Chains A and B, each alone.
Chain A
Amino acid sequence: MAYALQQLINGLTLGAVYGLIAIGYTMVYGIIGMINFAHGDIFMVSAFIAVTAFTLLAAFDITSLPLALTAVLITAIFFTSAYGWAVERMAYRPLRGSTRLAPLISAIGMSIFLQNMVQLTQGARVKPIPPVLEGGIEIWQSGGFTVQISWTQIMIVVVTVVLMVAFTYLITQTAFGRQQRACEQDSTMTALLGINVDRTISATFMLGAALAAVAGVMVTVYYGVVDFFIGFVAGIKAFTAAVLGGIGSLPGAMLGGLIIGLIEAFWAAYLSPEYKDVATFAILILVLMFRPSGLLGRPEVEKV
């Protein structure tokens, strides 16, 4: 029982990270109907920015943990959003209105570009940071097994929950959220009503990148090691999460992320860690067979 609880905590932490990245996929799909395959690499870039920021802070001898974390978060969000904006501006906006396939190919190109850029400028070797946040609390002991939740895990879950609340508010209650949902429903009509569609789309990309940046910082702190290839695996898993939850749906992305995190943790715990990816993707296939639009996705209605 204690063992299951521990694996639940592990799965939730992992799922929260997947969810944060998945929102970027789902939001972009919602607004312009394309899969931004470079999103995983945006996440990777943010992890590298975090490593650089941590190193710089250490060089300036700033050791206060809350201060350092906040500084790193702000730096990562700022620069990663800039990346998100630039990617949209350079690789996708010129292709808007062309075939559906063009921006998709452009996105794959962008993904390769970012990976290679980081590999060439930062090197192919892994970049470690010394442990930032160590220790944790023991929450329960049973049958010789101590359930332990580390401070990093608590931080990841808390930050994710706070972000989700803030994000829901942003989308459902603010003027920007209304504009965004309007663009999602009918961008031509929205433009006719005097809303700057291009700017809304740019902002969406920046917002998605900002969430990926938070995930990047969390992953850097949690695992302590980054390399130029982490965006690929994380991106594929997060994309899967978005599809599983129903692409285009924000709560769906989070739910999908959590489900994938939990499947991975429990499959590794009770069955074979070797086959956990097989299990994850098999479940994705099963869900899509019976609910093609994902768990929380709305089926596409032909408008007449």
Chain B
Amino acid sequence: MKKTLIATAFLALGAQAQLAHADLAVAIAGPMTGQYASAGDQIRRGAEMAIADINAKGGVLGQKLKLEVGDDACDPKQAVSVANTMVNKKIVFMHGHWCSSSTIPASEVYVEADIPMATVSTNPQVTERGLKNIFRIMGRDDQQGMVAGGYIADKFKGKKVAVLDDKSAYGKGLADEMAKAMTAKGLKPTLRESITAGEKDYSGIVTKLKQAGVEVLAYGGYHTEVALILRQAQQAGLKLTVMGGDTMTNSELVTAAGAAADNVMFTFSPDPRKNPDAAPIVKRFRDAKVEPEGYVMYAYAAMQLFADAATQAKSTKFADLEKTMRGNSFKTVIGELAFDAKGDQKQPGFVVYQWKGGQYDYAAK
């Protein structure tokens, strides 16, 4: 009796394996453990929900999707070994990795194995290496300046704008991009200066801005200096609107600058929960006791992207998928996705936010 049971169990397992083989394996990879594990968890929850939804609608090309999960703990070495494991599991699509430092080495493995990947890593180098298999579904770091500069040129046409940076790699890069984007749209910066981060006294530069009649300050740097500049501007009787980058999301800015923080705008990734088209999905996540924050919706969108592309291409072969993903545009829960030759989004994935009473929200267009 017992033997029969075991035999049946084996048979059942065999059948399961057989069935699994017919399934399409798609994978996610990211930090499922370690200090960034919360991001990995978000990715997993988003992907699981997406796959359940896709399978409920009949899967992709008549086949069910099956999720493989890889844990790289944001360690580049571990990322490469995860990538090799995934290649052995014959996955047809990868969503990951999460850390740029993991995505970059792992992508070399996937490209050899002809596996397309959609990532949320933001480092420019992710797509700058000419790999054909990478698609980035988030903005890249250096697109922030483009979005911020463009917004300034549209919104503050005819006003005097100063561009300032803190001499850091991040700050100077952002400020240069903002200045370039503004100038391209016909608004030349009145002043272009640098300050030293970590100081406390910026009254000199504030007075200089006041003298030049500057109303808008495009700033590349961190929130601490912006808070000081705003406070000192207020004391000097200068009303200043500041445009910055993602570092301005830090709520320390509000505590340090007080009410003046309401004059701070910045670029940051859009919040997919605010996308009206995604409302039903957001509700389903919440019903399942998952707050669709951070990377949850991005993971969902990545799976949608694969399912759509495979359906349109009528194939899961790399060449077909790659051509479709690059050529077409896809409606996902994070909005319309379309990619350029490098694999970056055609529409930069950043929007302008503004602080208001200690909270930030999309700024008026």
Q: Which chain A residues have a beta carbon within 8 Å of chain B's beta carbons? A: 3, 6-7, 10-11, 13-14, 125-126, 128, 130-131, 134, 136, 138, 144-146, 148, 150, 152-153, 219, 223-225, 227, 229-230, 233-234, 264-265, 267-269, 272-274, 276-277
Q: Residue of A at shortest CB range from B253?
A: A128
* List of A residues within 8 angstroms of B196 by Cβ: 273-274, 276-277
Q: Main SS of chain B's interface residues?
A: helix
Q: With A126-B256, A128-B256 as given contacts, are A225 and B227 in contact (CB-CB < 8 Å)?
A: yes
Contact at B204–A150, with CB atoms within 8 Å? no
Q: How far is the CA of A259 from the CA of B98 in the complex (A)?
A: 52
Q: In the assembled complex, which residues on chain B have CB atoms less than 8 Å from the CB atom of A272?
A: 193-194
Q: Please, which residues of chain B bring their CB within 8 A of the CB of A10?
A: 201, 203-204, 207
Question: Which listed residue, A134, A219, A274, touches B200 by the CB 8 Å rule?
Answer: A219
Contact of B231 among A3, A131, A229 (CB under 8 A): A131
In the bound assembly, the distance between CA atoms of A11 and B200 in angstroms comes to: 13
Interchain CB contact under 8 A, B231 and A148: no
Q: In whole Å, how far is B230's beta carbon from the nearest beta carbon of chain A?
A: 10
* Residues of chain A with a CB closer than 8 A to B167's CB: 274
List chain B residues, Cβ under 8 A from A224: 227-228, 231, 256
Do A273 and B199 touch (CB < 8 A)? no
Tell me the bound Cα distance from A276 to B211 in angstroms. 19
Interface, chain B (partner A; CB < 8 A): 167, 193-196, 198-201, 203-205, 207-208, 210-211, 213, 224, 227-228, 231-232, 234-237, 252, 255-256, 258
Query: In the complex the two chains form, is B205's CB within 8 Å of A268's CB?
Result: yes
- Given known A225-B228, A273-B194, contact A7–B201 (CB-CB < 8 A): no
Contact A148 B201 (CB under 8 A): no
Q: Which residues of A contact B201 (CB under 8 A)?
A: 10, 14, 223, 264
Determine whether the beta carbon of B228 is less than 8 Å from that of A6. no
* Bound: A277/B195 CA distance, A: 11
Contacting pair A131 B258 (CB below 8 A): yes
In Å, the complex CA distance between A230 and B196 comes to 13
Counted as pairs of residues, one from A and one from B, with CB atoms less than 8 Å apart, the total is: 96
Q: Does the CB pair A276–B204 fall under 8 Å?
A: yes
- Kindly list chain B residues whose C-beta atoms are within 8 Å of the C-beta of A136: 235, 237
Which B residues lie within 8 Å of A150 (CB)?
235-236
Whether B224 pairs with A225 at a CB distance below 8 angstroms is: yes
Query: Are A225 and B200 neighbours in the complex by a CB distance under 8 Å?
Result: yes
Shortest C-beta distance, B178 to chain A (Å), equals 18
The distance in angstroms between the C-alpha atoms of A273 and B206, with both chains bound, is 11
Given contacts A126-B256, A223-B232, A276-B196, 5 further A-B contacts (CB under 8 A): A6-B207, A224-B256, A225-B228, A233-B198, A274-B195
Nearest-neighbour CB distance to chain A for B251, whole angstroms, equals 11
Residues of A within 8 A of B195 (CB): 273-274
Residue with the greatest number of chain A CB neighbours at <10 A, chosen from B195, B205, B236:
B236
Bound state CA distance, A168 and B200, in angstroms? 29
| Contact indicator B211/A3 (Cβ below 8 Å) | yes
B198 touches A229 (CB 8 A): yes
Known: A14-B201, A126-B252, A225-B224. A152 touches B235 (CB 8 A): yes
The answer to whether B224 and A126 have CB atoms under 8 Å apart is yes
A131-B231, A230-B200 known; A145 and B194 CB under 8 Å?
Answer: no
Assembly CA distance A274 to B208 (angstroms): 13
Docked Cα-Cα span, A17 to B232, in Å, equals 16
Instruction: Give Cα A125 to B251, complex, Å.
Output: 12
**Residues of chain A with a CB closer than 8 A to B224's CB:** 126, 225, 227
A13 touches B252 (CB 8 A): no
4 A-B pairs with least C-beta separation: A268-B204, A128-B256, A10-B203, A150-B235
CB distance from B322 to the nearest CB of A (A): 45
A274 touches B193 (CB 8 A): yes
Once the chains are docked, how many angstroms separate the CA of A234 from the CA of B200?
A: 9
Residues in A neighbouring B200, C-beta threshold 8 A: 219, 223, 225, 230, 233-234
Judging by beta carbons under 8 Å apart, are B211 and A145 in contact? Answer: yes
A273 near B208 (CB under 8 angstroms)? yes
CB distance from B160 to the nearest CB of A (A): 12
Decide if B258 touches A130 in the complex (CB within 8 Å). Answer: yes
Q: Which of B237, B252, B258 contacts A148 (CB 8 A)?
A: B237
CA distance A227 to B252 in the complex (A): 12
Question: Are the CB atoms of A274 and B211 closer together than 8 Å?
Answer: no
